[in-house]
Amino acid sequence: MTFKKQTRVTALLLSAFMLFTMLTACGSLDAITGRDASADASLEAAATYDFSAAGEYFAADTVIMTVAGSQVLWDEFYYWMLTAVSNILSDKDVAYIEDWDAEFSGAYDMFGENMTYSEFVIYYAHDAVTMYRTIEAKFDEKGLTLNEDEVFTKEDYMEYYNLESEDEFTKYLESSYMSEELFNYIETVAAKYYMLLENTYGADGENLTDEEVLEYVDSYGYMQAKHIMLYTEDEEGVAYSDEKKAEVLASAEEILALLNSYEGDDLEGYFDELTAQYNEDTDMGSDGYIFTSGDMVAEFQAAVEGLSENEYSDIVETDHGYHIIFRTAVNPDGVPYGGYDTLRYSAAYTRFDSIVSAWQEEVAVEYSEIYGQISPMDIFTLS
């Protein structure tokens, strides 16, 4: 499929398994930013961050804060600070942080607040450790229990990455600046999070009504449409000749004429019949595509936005072909383009995340004197 654009979704609550992708070998510029450190001298400077030394700024067992009666030690707080720094450095426009007091635009995208780089790193770590302990506290409060097979383990990780020895796993931990104890803790709390989510909204979000899911759909601007597409380029993306393109347009006009002449009472069913006969988009499922702004090329999106449900478009031209588009109601149990979860589950996840945030606001937090001494600018120094 060539006429759609990819989107990226980020979330703070990640398991240690997922965070390895971000942090493994993060002392290396290539691993953090995808850049070639030999490209120029300014980029080489970013490779001189000494994350191991930064992690030793305080002793690993130094108490940073206490949340819901549970102590947060420096090794854990630093891990989340490093995750925040990795988020910043993953931006292709940032090789290293020159001014820690400058505003980090990504902070608003993630937390809805304007923050400096320094404030973002501390806030990110603070949010992570308080969220994890809030989840623990609520899990216990509700009297829930975990089975061992519900937690992603070291053995699961080794199997996933085809690691042959525990030494290899240990190297992964070291390169991610994480102890095995912290790995187990993060994975255990992640499992508790999803059990709390399931306890609230069901394993697949089935406790949400269609109306509640559609509120989520509206808030994120999701649309659903199917189309009959005739390509004007070959599989390598090479455009057809003007003569061949004119033939394709003539075919599209014939299909449109068939739709315009339909007098039955099942327009969508007839559209589906024509789709089965003429559509060249082999990736599209029978329900079409669920998408939001930016997922599709501009011409396709604009055409859908101009339609009411159960209406079809005139011929829409994009760089890839001619389309006749039929807008449908959004299926609450459909999976959006580029996603894995249904809209129902995503709505449940989003609602539950708001619940967790509210819980977080109520949790008791006490700070040690060390907390006030945390300065990312001093901790993450260039050697």
CB 169 within 8 A of CB 154: yes
225 beta partners:
289, 327
* Amino acid present at 109: D
pTM of the model: 0.80
348 CB neighbour count, 10 Å cutoff = 26
Strands 223-231 and 70-73: unpaired
Q: How much helix, strand and coil, in percent to the nearest 5, is found in the chain? A: 50, 15, 40
CA dihedral 179, 182, 183, 184 (to 10 degrees): 120
Residue 17 confidence (pLDDT): 55
Residue 1 confidence (pLDDT): 36
Residue 7 confidence (pLDDT): 24
Does domain 223-328 fall under CATH 3.10.50.40? My reply is yes
CA-atom Rg of the chain in angstroms: 26
- For the chain, 383 residues long, give each residue's pLDDT as a single digit of tens: 333 322 212 334 455 555 554 443 333 323 222 333 333 333 333 446 889 899 999 999 999 999 999 999 999 999 999 999 988 888 757 778 889 999 998 888 888 889 999 999 999 999 999 999 999 999 999 999 998 889 999 999 899 889 889 999 999 888 888 899 999 999 999 999 999 999 999 999 999 999 999 999 999 999 999 999 999 999 999 999 999 999 999 999 999 999 999 999 999 999 999 999 999 999 999 999 999 999 999 999 999 999 999 999 999 999 999 999 999 999 999 999 999 999 999 999 999 999 999 999 999 999 999 999 999 999 998 65
Question: Where are the CATH 3.10.50.40 domain residues in the chain?
Answer: 223-328
CB 67 within 8 A of CB 133: yes
Q: What angle do CA 92, 94, 97 make, to 5 degrees?
A: 160
Beta-carbon contacts of 341 under 8 Å, excluding residues fewer than 6 positions away, are: 335, 349
User: Which residue, 20, 21, 38, is CA-closest to 29?
Assistant: 38
Maximum distance among all Cα pairs of the chain, rounded to whole angstroms: 78
HSE of 350, CA atoms in CB hemisphere, 13 A: 18
Residue 324 confidence (pLDDT): 98
Beta-carbon contacts of 296 under 8 Å, excluding residues fewer than 6 positions away, are: 3, 4, 5, 289, 304, 337
Residue 16 confidence (pLDDT): 58
- In angstroms, the CA 27 to CA 96 distance is 12
